[in-house]
Amino acid sequence: MRKLYGILSLTFLLALSSSSAWSELVIRVTQGNDKPTTVAVSPIALNGLRIKEDIGAIVEADLQRSGLFRTTPRRDMLAFPSKASDVYFRDWRMLGSEYLVVGSMRTIADGRYELEFSLLNVTAQKTEFKHAVRGRVNEMRDLAHLVSDKVYQEITGIRGAFSTRIAYVTANRDSGKFVYRLNVADADGAREKLMLESSEPIMSPSWAPNGKELAYVSFETGRPAIFRQNLVTAKRQQLTNYTGLNGAPAWSPDGKKLALVLSKDGNPEIYMLELSTSKFTRLTRHFAIDTEPTWMSDGNTLLFTSDRGGTPQIYKLNVATRATERLTFRGNYNARPSLAPDGRTLALVHRESSTFHIASFDLKTGRMIELTETRLDESPTVAPNGAMVMYATKQGDRGVLAAVSLDAGVRYVLPAKNGDVREPAWSPFLQ
């Protein structure tokens, strides 16, 4: 079998024009928490260093986007302290800031930079922590997101996911020709990087659990086929080349297997591919459509979509015993489950009457909660910290990405400048 999979190779662009690349997606927060915590982020002292990114502003944007924080406007600040000993708590209390972030940049060996920052509790008039992050000059956005992660975790108790990435597909029509692109960007939409461009459809990106590879479907051979691609080396490998559907790849929690869909035996069935041996194991056996597998954290349970009951619904499959159980009953369309890290909350596509929304479904209680109010919402993907669900929706006739918190209290939209944006896939934690 293995010899059939030509190891695909390609040359790649060494660098995109970086200034234009990271502004493709612009985030607009449309709804925040009722009682956000107020944080002031004092501009980071650069001590004469030339750094083009405004790190403090990136941290502010991260915290705002989470919906859990309101930031104190810079223009209201009476001073820009860069270390705890320079802070007059009274000034910040007057501004209503509950917390204050201060920080300072310096160079260290090998042309690297160190950002030392502190989180101060204005109410309690104490320093919560002091921390240092280091990186190269082209990693200033990474440093900023690490600051946001640390601040978010300290205040909310939840690990921050600002340093994560999203993969997504864009489709453009240019004088009648389609152009499909697979992109990876930071979770805030910045630093978009092109992974693959094709005149044929690209679908269903799925992150390897180590965050270093994507699996996806590409029609570049004239038919659908599943590929894996390393994000650092851009090396690609074609994994499937069967007649019929080759779709919906989902990496197992240990990274050693892919669940996927093949219809080579007549209709769509869930298969498991052992990546080291290229061995395929058929897991479902039903004349209905079985698709969109996703793994539970035990590595032995798959959730998938099937219309074996007449309408698309979510089913659970024990990989070892093949025992199958229907999980969803409310609504006439429940599909494409994405599991939250708590292991019991699913985000899925749900239709009650005629419109498609993103809903959460509690595997323990069976409770279904609609999270979105737009129509044609699809492709939910839960952040690795479980705080937000990103999904694809329509604004006018254009596909855009949006996000909503699992309690529906926070929302934001990431409008793209042109074309349709679709099929977001949120990376795992990367560090």
Site for another protein in 212-251 (CB under 8 A): 212, 218-224, 229, 231-236, 238, 244-245, 247-248
Amino acid at 109: A
CA 228 from centroid of its chain's CA atoms: 18
Which one of residues 13, 26, 78, 124 is an interface residue with another protein (CB under 8 A)?
Answer: 13
Per-residue binder mask for another protein (CB under 8 A), 284-303, x = binder:
-----x-xx-----------
Q: Does 48 bind another protein (CB under 8 A)?
A: no
The sheet with strand 28-31 has its strands ordered as: 28-31, 411-414, 398-405, 388-395, 378-382
Site for another protein in 129-188 (CB under 8 A): 129-136, 138-139, 142-143, 146, 165, 171, 176-178, 184
Report the DSSP pairing between strands 37-41 and 69-71: parallel
Q: Could you give the C-alpha distances from 270 to 201, 313, 395, in angstroms and in order?
A: 21, 15, 33
Q: Does 112 bind another protein (CB under 8 A)?
A: yes
Count of chain residues binding another protein (CB under 8 A): 93
Per-residue binder mask for another protein (CB under 8 A), 403-422, x = binder:
-------------------x
Q: Does 423 bind another protein (CB under 8 A)?
A: yes
Q: Could you give the C-alpha distances from 21 to 192, 197, 211, 252, in angstroms and in order?
A: 5, 15, 21, 31
Q: Does 376 bind another protein (CB under 8 A)?
A: yes
Residue 212's contacts (CB-CB under 8 Å, 6 or more residues apart) are 230, 231, 232
Site for another protein in 23-42 (CB under 8 A): none
Which one of residues 53, 54, 154, 197 is an interface residue with another protein (CB under 8 A)?
Answer: 197
CA distance 199 to 245: 19
**Closest approach of another protein to the CB of residue 423, in Å:** 7
Stretch that binds another protein, among 44-52, 57-65, 72-80, 304-312 (CB under 8 A): 304-312
Q: Does 7 bind another protein (CB under 8 A)?
A: yes
Q: Does 324 bind another protein (CB under 8 A)?
A: no
Q: Please, are residues 393 and 377 in contact by the beta-carbon 8 Å criterion?
A: yes
Of 240, 183, 191, 245, the residue nearest 214 (C-alpha): 183
